Amino acid sequence: MKNHIIRDICFCWFALFATPVFSQSDSLKKNSDDIGSLKINFDPSGQKYMQIGIWNQTWLRYIDNNPGTLVNGEPERGTYDAGIRRMRISTLAQLSPKFLMFYQIGFNNQTFISGGGSGTGAQGNGKKATVFFHDAYGEYTLIPELDTETKKKNNFSLYLGAGLHSWNGVSRLTNASSSKMLTADLPVYNFPTIEISDQMSRQFGVFVHGSYKKFTYRMNVNKPFATNNEPKIGNTAVDNNKGDVSFAGYYSYQFFETESQKTPFLAGTYLGSKKILNIGAGFYSTKNGTKTQPSEGVYENHDIRVLGIDIFSELPLTDDTYLSIYSVYYNYQFGPNYLRTTALLNPGTADPAYTGQTALEGAGNGRVLLGTGSIWHTQFAYMLPRFSKSVQIQPYVTYARKSMEALNETGNYYDFGTNFYFVGHNAKVSLQYSSRPLYDTETKTVFKHAGEVLIAMQFFL
């Protein structure tokens, strides 16, 4: 009998205090349709809770393939494809006013032909994508942003955490939210060590973050993932680190409204619900991160240093229109002639029988990502006046200018798109056209441009 009573008391307690509610950020105003995320309170005050986020981003594309591309063994100049760019499940647990836990799992970049498990044949290269932890860290409150007794905001706040985390340095975009993006996708070069010495932009380490009045800061000391590429003879650096730790930081001043620092992720747009003007600067550095072989048997190590400076502004014009502007300048130092290419959800492989002009970016939708040199990235958007209760429309444009030491010509990259918000960020569709230059393998100059049409659909709770 006693066990039944204890069971019933526990059930009633959970029913009373662990009631799921849809929580919306205090910053969201009536002109935003965003319904927020699922929040489960564990006490009447709401100081102990768990917040759950679930989202999926599906891509439909037409790709102008780079010259000499095979898709499933057949030459193709252009490819239609479908895939999942991201799938995530995140949990943030506030155990007490002093302790917080954050975990995020999911998978990335699965298409009809790539991004799946290791099986082949009947299983298929595109099937059964690997799910893994993106974030896994705990955080301790040293000085809270809001005093727990007086409920007044402190001038200074300080939080300390450790684990697999993404409290990154360099720029706002290096700390970007992937569920509240302005554009159909992030440009990827905002993550300078992506999938090389980090795991999906995360590293293991210790971090601090907080604010002093309008000034915010985040800093970390991390252990980069090991790299061991061996350089060829010549003056081209490759990733080969020597076990040194990395240091990173990002600092910003917020002139108007302030942004939440509950998680490391910063929104690409608040859908006009905030008046924002922020300037920021940051860095990432690690010793002996790359390696060259200037002559046979002679090796040199090189430090990695990345600097960023940016500005972000979101200015409401009327109740339902606003401007969003972001611009960032990156300076990358990875060692002599370091160059990296990427190909998101790439459907193609190189055709060994192809004899025409080839691109150094490789097959499929490969492009130059980053390298020793600089990138200037700018994006601009305008929310159109609302003419319907069911949808908001937001055209945008982005431009990136890449000047890489290993190339003999500056590259110009463009995206033209439109967002259709049906339920804020919770249900939206983005239509985007992108243009990328292709570099000749021998001359390292641009010989043509290739395009890509993308429909990105996001559902987020």
> For the chain, which domains are there?
2-460 (2.40.160.10)
Helix (H, G, I), strand (E, B) or coil at 12: helix
Strands 37-41 and 74-75: unpaired
CA distance 189 to 371: 9
Residue 156: burial class (beta carbons within 10 Å; 0-12, 13-18, 19+)? exposed
Q: What is the enclosing helix (H) or strand (E) of 219?
A: strand 215-223
DSSP state of 43: S
Alpha carbon distance, N-terminus to C-terminus of the chain: 41
Contact 322/291 with Cβ under 8 angstroms? no
Q: What is the DSSP letter of 174?
A: G
Q: Cα separations (Å) of 310 from 90, 133, 219, 282, 342?
A: 28, 29, 17, 9, 24
For residue 461, give the nearest of 22, 18, 1 by alpha carbon: 22
Which run of H or of E encompasses 299?
strand 298-316
Q: Quote the CA–CA distance of 85 and 230 in Å, as a whole number.
A: 31
Q: Which pLDDT score, from 0 to 100, does residue 5 have?
A: 44
d(CA 319, CA 392): 13
The structure tokens listed for 334 are: 């990875």
What confidence score (pLDDT) does residue 38 get?
86
CA distances to 81, 147, 211, 212 from 154, rounded to whole Å, are: 51, 6, 9, 8
pLDDT in tens, the chain (461 residues): 444 444 443 444 333 334 444 444 444 444 456 676 688 999 887 789 999 999 999 999 999 999 999 999 999 999 999 999 999 999 999 989 899 999 999 999 999 998 887 655 555 678 889 999 999 999 999 999 988 778 888 999 999 999 999 999 999 999 999 999 999 999 999 999 999 999 999 999 999 999 999 999 999 999 999 999 999 999 999 999 999 999 999 999 999 999 999 999 999 999 999 999 999 999 999 999 999 999 999 999 999 999 999 999 999 999 899 999 999 999 999 999 999 999 999 999 999 999 999 999 999 999 999 999 999 999 999 999 999 989 999 999 999 999 999 999 999 999 999 999 999 999 999 999 999 999 999 999 999 999 999 999 999 99
From 334, 282, 340, select the one nearest 304 (Cα to Cα): 334
DSSP structural state of residue 8: H
Tell me which H or E stretch contains 350.
strand 349-350
CA nearest neighbour of 328 among 388, 280, 276: 280
H or E stretch at 40:
strand 37-41
> Which amino acid type is present at position 196?
I
Distances (CA, A) of 352 to 60, 277, 342, 367: 28, 51, 20, 19
Residue 12 burial (10 A CB sphere; 0-12, 13-18, 19+): exposed
pLDDT, position 7: 46
Tokens 């620092």 map to which residue? 261
Partner residues linked to 307 by β-bridges? 283, 331
Strand order in the sheet with 69-71: 74-75, 69-71, 349-350
CB 283 within 8 A of CB 261: no
Give the pLDDT score at 123: 55
**Nearest CA among 360, 308, 344 for reference residue 184:** 344
Structure token digits, residue 79 = 């490819």
- Two structure tokens written together for 123: 């299983």
